[in-house]
Amino acid sequence: MNTVKYRAIERATNDGAITLANVGFIRCAEGTPRRLDRGFATTNAKGLPAARISREGSTVTNPETRATASSDERDELGPTYLFSVDLEDVRSLFPGGERLAERVPENTERFLTFLDRHRIHCTFFTTGDVARRYPSLVRTVAAAGHEIACHTTDHTALDRHDADSFRSDIQRCQEIFERAGVTRSIGFRAPYGSMTARTAWAYRVLGELGFEYSASVLPARNPLYGWPEFGPDRPRMLDGLLEVPVTLTHLPGLNVPLVGGIYFRLLPFPLIRRIFRRRLANGEPVAGYLHPFDVDSREQRFPFPDMNPLFSWLMFQNRNAVFPRLERLLELGVRVMPYAEYAAHQKRRLGVRPARPEASVA
């Protein structure tokens, strides 16, 4: 195996000297080594980016120091939290669900109020069923500046489709969006995180339909779906689409989504915040998701489909904690943006042209 060598540098910081070795990896007196697209970087004791080393020794420092490499090698976005809402109606997931009280509009409005108060925009991965049932609600979400992305028509997992039925489903969902008065989406999230090695054929179909990105992979073993062979939980290009996998905890025996649904509600918050901060300090985005029911402490109790009684009980726990926890994460100074904006930025960095000219986001 070839070893790429890196020129060693030593730079003094307020927290001590940082030494970078020249044997294909970095050792540092202060900070944590990490790999970059074009090299490596460290963070100082305060968790801030300290320096980057690229091949042949060119350096990129943080914005407070002089840079000697081109600006596209810097992380222009800063600490990024890809917050999103899976806009689906849990009542449609099991027989007899229609007997339950309608909750989606009220809970969606709570998300909108929260986002408006913080002046941030995000992505709502929306099912066609919700757009058909609540077209004015979906228009309200879009009018507030949020992205509407595709979450399939009826929340059917990918392994229950073949390529033809999946294509028909996505086209039907897009048509429902148009009838609701919103533009066709360029982003996709698979129900239940069901994009796996066995269903990766879906990327080709999505690309043919003009999609730009997917946020569908849980890159670990999971009771429902998971793709442990995917590799690190970092964005990568697959069949012309940018896949933005959900961020994991990376804890022994508990490698689960860090800021996703029930995990965000039940994991100890100090643990979430510590991993969240470490991830941002390493210059990596944090990607997560919530559902309308995740903030609904007044929802009528019912057995969640395909779950044992214990897990079904857990699905209703700690829902009051979601907004306070989000508040505390936002206090860390993160940047929240729609997935489409993030995907466009990453594709520009990689020199990848959008599948549709109108898909480019400023």
3-state secondary structure of 259: coil
Residue 172: CB partners within 8 Å, gap ≥ 6? Answer: 128, 153
Q: What angle do CA 131, 137, 139 make, to 5 degrees?
A: 80
pTM, two decimal places: 0.78
**Which structural domains are found in the chain, ordered by start?**
10-73 (no CATH), 80-359 (3.20.20.370)
| Distance of alpha carbon 305 from alpha carbon 312, whole angstroms | 8
Residue 98: CB partners within 8 Å, gap ≥ 6? Answer: 91
The gap from C-alpha 83 to its chain's centroid, in whole angstroms, comes to: 7
Q: What's the pLDDT tens digit per position in 114-130?
A: 999 999 999 999 999 99
Q: What's the pLDDT tens digit per position in 230-241?
A: 999 999 999 999
Radius of gyration of the chain (CA): 21
Residues paired with residue 13 on neighbouring β-strands, in sequence order: 16
Which two three-digit tokens encode residue 234? 């970092």
Tens-level pLDDT at each residue, the chain (362 residues): 333 322 222 233 233 322 222 222 222 333 333 333 333 333 333 333 333 323 222 222 222 222 222 334 345 788 999 999 999 999 887 778 888 899 999 999 999 999 999 999 999 999 999 999 999 999 999 999 999 999 999 999 999 999 999 999 999 999 999 999 999 999 999 999 999 999 999 999 999 999 999 999 999 999 889 999 999 999 999 999 999 999 999 999 999 999 999 999 999 999 999 999 999 999 999 999 999 999 999 998 888 877 788 888 888 899 999 999 999 999 999 999 999 999 999 999 888 877 764 443 43
